[in-house]
């Protein structure tokens, strides 16, 4: 399954472009721009599973290259951006983000 099976290619392109500058990533705005806020829980889980490259059921820090996960043209997140995203999604403090 490709990201564009769930989200609009145009929305992805705009969102990735909006955060192309280093240290500009805002995960709340990004997820809103790509349309995830309007998606069903099932569609959000589909996106999660696309980003979960090792199929462990979790997204670990080494998988948080989020912009490239949405499109190959995206940039890698900085360590600071990655840690902020991980902290926001890691509800139980185990260092990974679960599907829920």
Taking only the tens place, the pLDDT of each residue in 35-71 is 999 999 999 999 999 999 999 999 998 888 878 889 8
Torsion sign (Cα): 12, 77, 28, 61: positive
pLDDT, residue 85, reads 92
Nearest to 81 by CA among 65, 70, 98: 65
- The answer to whether position 80 is within a domain reads yes
Q: Which domain holds residue 17?
A: 8-95
Query: Any known ligand binding at 43?
Result: no
pLDDT, residue 22, reads 92
Domain count, the chain: 1
> What integer best gives the mean pLDDT of the chain?
92
- The answer to whether position 17 is within a domain reads yes
Enter the tokens of residue 39: 């998606």
- The answer to whether position 1 is within a domain reads no
Query: Any known ligand binding at 11?
Result: no
- The answer to whether position 84 is within a domain reads yes
Query: Any known ligand binding at 54?
Result: yes
**What CATH number has the domain bearing residue 32?**
1.10.238.10
Please check the confidence at residue 8 and state whether its pLDDT lies above 90.
yes
- The answer to whether position 3 is within a domain reads no
pLDDT, residue 5, reads 96
pLDDT, residue 100, reads 79
- The answer to whether position 2 is within a domain reads no
Query: Any known ligand binding at 92?
Result: yes
């Amino acid at each position: 399954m490709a990201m564009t099976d769930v989200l609009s290619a145009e929305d992805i392109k705009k969102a990735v472009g909006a955060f192309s500058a280093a240290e500009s990533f805002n995960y709340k705005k990004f997820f809103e721009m790509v349309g995830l806020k309007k998606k069903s829980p099932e569609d959000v889980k589909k996106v999660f599973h696309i980003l979960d490259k090792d199929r462990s059921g979790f997204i670990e820090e080494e998988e948080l290259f989020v912009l490239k996960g949405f499109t190959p043209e995206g940039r890698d997140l900085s360590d600071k951006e990655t840690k902020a995203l991980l902290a926001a999604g890691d509800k139980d403090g185990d260092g990974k983000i679960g599907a829920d």
